[in-house]
Amino acid sequence: MLTAILTAVFFTILLVAGNTMAQSVRERISELAVLKTLGFSNRLVLVLILAESVVLAGVGGALGLGLGGLLVRALGSSGQIANLLSVFYFPPKDVLIGSALAVALGLVSGALPAFRAMRLRIADGLRRT
């Protein structure tokens, strides 16, 4: 049951992050065309978009893991709530798994927009300005 909920949440976050990256690329088509005009290779444009996606997902994952850890630690040590939260803890292994999932989410959600940006023809991109 818990795995199904986790999968649904992860898939939803993946869709939201992918939509955000797709919109980001669509809004910056002319800027990407200018970069290509200046000599940026298709590979470098791909890496730039993927890096942006990984950084956004990484910051979100770090904030989520950090705030979750602080919340469990703060509420777990206070009176009656401690009994309810005694089963919650953040082992280092799970923090590493969460960090890896955030990076994977960034790579997966940024892949399609990055490939579209990579295949952008300069003339088509400059025409949109």
pLDDT band at 125 (very low <50, low <70, confident <90, very high): confident
Looking at the domain assignment, is residue 69 inside a domain?
A: yes
Q: Within a domain: residue 57? A: yes
| The model's pTM | 0.81
pLDDT for residue 123 is more than 70: yes
Query: Which tops the pLDDT comparison, 54 or 82?
Result: 54
- What tokens were used for 85? 């939260």
Q: Are 98 and 65 in contact (CB under 8 A)?
A: yes
Instruction: Specify the residue for token string 């990407």.
Output: 32
If you average pLDDT over residues 66-95, what whole number do you get?
Answer: 72
Residue 23, in any domain of the structure: yes
Number of compact structural domains in the chain? 1
Residue 93's domain comprises 15-127
